[in-house]
Amino acid sequence: GYDVAGLLNKTGNVMIDPGFVNTASCTSQITYIDGEKGILRYRGYPIEQLAEQSTFLETAYLVLYGELPNKAQLEGFEERIRRTTLIDERMRDLFRCFPRRSHPMPVLAAGIMALSTFSQKSSGTDPDQIEAATTRLIAKVPTLAAFGYKNSMGQPTLYPDNSLSYVQNFIRMSFGFPTEPYEFNDEITRALETLLILHVDHEQNCSTSTVRMVASSGANMYAAVAAGVNALSGPKHGGANQAVLEMLQYIRDSDMTTKEFVRRVKDKQSDIKLMGFGHRIYKNYDPRAAIIKKHADRIMELHTGREDLLEIAKELEETALSDDYFRERKLYPNVDFYTGLIYEAMGFPMNMFTVLFALGRLPGWIAQYREQAATGGNKIWRPRQIFTGADLRDYVPLDQRA
Ligand code: ACO
């Protein structure tokens, strides 16, 4: 009912672009995406090559510093991270304050903010402080994530073991027990490493834009990354991996056929979506989903009893891909469609799935924060709006209101 064109004229050249579908917020040299062709590159390197050949920390270095490290640079980076994994003893008390079954995502966000209070100069945005925060966050977030998980399970926490790789360390802190040696399954370790690499960055998605928005105010990296974690938690974003598994379980438990479920999605009456399908940028396929699907079958073999859900997922994919509704709207499986199944097969409960996404996305958030701080100038991000509320009116005292 509003005269939007008139409002636009009144406010001059302000453009409205709900959801920022056509508005670029910045220039960036970190990640390149071609959504039509299904291309994703970090600093020019194809995601397929990195997923196959790199490690998570090496990819983190690439995204953060712009180039693949040489041997000495990589060893130096790994050593810096390894030496920083421990968190202050008082932080353990923080985790004890949360209810036993608290969701590990808000616990992770709270842990990251608490971390900033243990940093002498956490408010600094000078290059040394940014470098220190980069190391502390990459090193300590897996420890925080694992502590949050152990807390949600009511189990004792484990200190990091610095003889292990980054990914092994996280796996042991999540599944190990203090008094028992932990036996790694190499296939699971590599699959988790690959999944983390696939999540490292994805240009100006919702959580990354949130990180940049907070960075633009001059707030420190901890504040920006915690905000990123919170933005990621929503089911339209990182929370989709949990929502996919819930959807698969719902279909199985309600004895509904996948065709019937897809029909209901298309009806749009109950506002249910096919979770794990669709993407703002990818309109042909999500290259990360293609890599993940290759891992899904192999990892699922390690964890029997969930074949029913994998079967439902495959049927859903097949039904949707041959349906005009999804074809016309260019809706394909995204990164989240199969990750939940894989994480579950690895032994993670559903409420940890988005935490794993956050762990992967962390270097990307930090790289984008650094780029914003270095090249964004002093310009605070401050979008405009088109006001559609009430016209001028006089205040009515309480006793005279209807
Ligand atoms: N199931 C059914 N219909 C869908 C779906 C879906 N998953 N996704 C989009 N559509 C429909 C919309 O209803 C709309 O239909 P209409 O033209 O008849 O109105 C059309 O496709 C276009 O969709 P938009 O919502 O405009 O697309 P947008 O780019 O804004 O949203 C998003 C992208 C949020 C990812 C959406 O596809 C979605 O909600 N998917 C399910 C959640 C999900 O998997 N999120 C993870 C995304 S990837 C990530 O964050 C890592």
Q: How far is Cα 396 from Cα 402, in angstroms, rounded to an integer? A: 10
pLDDT of residue 1: 46
Q: Which of 229, 331, 343 to mutate to test the pocket of ligand 1 (most atoms within 8 A of CB)?
A: 331
* pLDDT tens, residue order, the chain (402 aa): 455 555 555 556 788 999 999 999 999 999 999 999 999 999 999 999 999 999 999 999 999 999 999 999 999 999 999 999 999 998 888 888 898 888 999 999 999 999 999 886 656 678 889 999 999 999 999 999 999 999 888 899 999 999 999 999 999 999 999 988 999 999 999 999 999 999 999 999 999 999 999 999 999 999 999 999 999 999 888 888 889 999 999 999 998 899 999 999 999 877 789 999 999 899 888 999 989 988 887 787 776 667 788 889 999 999 999 999 999 999 999 988 989 889 988 999 999 999 999 999 999 999 999 999 998 777 899 999 999 999 999 999 999 999
- Amino acid, res. 318: E
Tally of residues, the chain:
402
307, 299, 292: which is closest to 339 by C-alpha? 292
Query: Per the structure block, which two tokens stand in for 272?
Result: 């249910």
Q: Which of 274, 277, 286, 332 to mutate to test the pocket of ligand 1 (most atoms within 8 A of CB)?
A: 277
The protein residue whose alpha carbon is closest to atom 46 in ligand 1 is: 237
- Amino acid, res. 198: L
ipTM of the complex: 0.94
DSSP 209-274: HHHHHHHHTT--HHHHHHHHHHHHTSTTTTTHHHHHHHHHHHHHHTT--HHHHHHHHHH-SS----
Cβ neighbourhood burial of 24 (10 Å; 0-12, 13-18, 19+): exposed
Q: What is the pLDDT of residues 311-353, one digit of tens each?
A: 899 999 999 999 999 999 999 999 889 898 899 889 999 999 9
Q: What is the mean pLDDT of the chain?
A: 91
Q: How far is Cα 111 from Cα 3, in angstroms, rounded to an integer? A: 46
Angle formed by the axes of helices 336-346 and 186-199, to 10°?
150
- Using left for φ > 0, alpha for ψ between -120 and 50, and beta otherwise, residue 278 falls in left
Query: Per the structure block, which two tokens stand in for 236?
Result: 């339209």
Query: Per the structure block, which two tokens stand in for 82?
Result: 């390894």
Please say whether the dihedral angle defined by the alpha carbons of residues 175, 180, 181 and 183, taken in this order, is positive or negative: negative
- Using left for φ > 0, alpha for ψ between -120 and 50, and beta otherwise, residue 87 falls in beta
Query: Per the structure block, which two tokens stand in for 101?
Result: 């079954």
Q: How far is Cα 61 from Cα 42, in angstroms, rounded to an integer? A: 11
Q: How far is Cα 208 from Cα 369, in angstroms, rounded to an integer? A: 8
Query: Per the structure block, which two tokens stand in for 289?
Result: 């989903």
* Residue 64: HSE in the Cβ half-sphere, 13 Å Cα cutoff: 21
Span from the CA of 211 to the centroid of ligand 1 (angstroms): 23
Ligand 1 in contact with 329 (CB < 6 A)? yes
Catalytic residues: 279, 336
Q: How far is Cα 353 from Cα 336, in angstroms, rounded to an integer? A: 10
The phi and psi torsions of 2 (rounded to 5 degrees) equal: -95, 150
Rg (the chain; Cα; Å) = 23
Give 169-176 contacts, CB < 8 A, sequence gap 24+: 169/85, 169/142, 170/142, 170/145, 170/146, 170/359, 173/142, 173/143, 173/146, 173/147, 174/145, 174/146, 174/149, 174/150, 174/348, 174/352, 175/347
367, 352, 362, 35: which is closest to 199 by C-alpha? 362
Euclidean distance between the first and final Cα of the chain, in Å? 25
The protein residue whose alpha carbon is closest to atom 50 in ligand 1 is: 237
The protein residue whose alpha carbon is closest to atom 30 in ligand 1 is: 280
Give the containing element (helix H, strand E) for 63: helix 56-65
DSSP 8-state code for residue 333: B
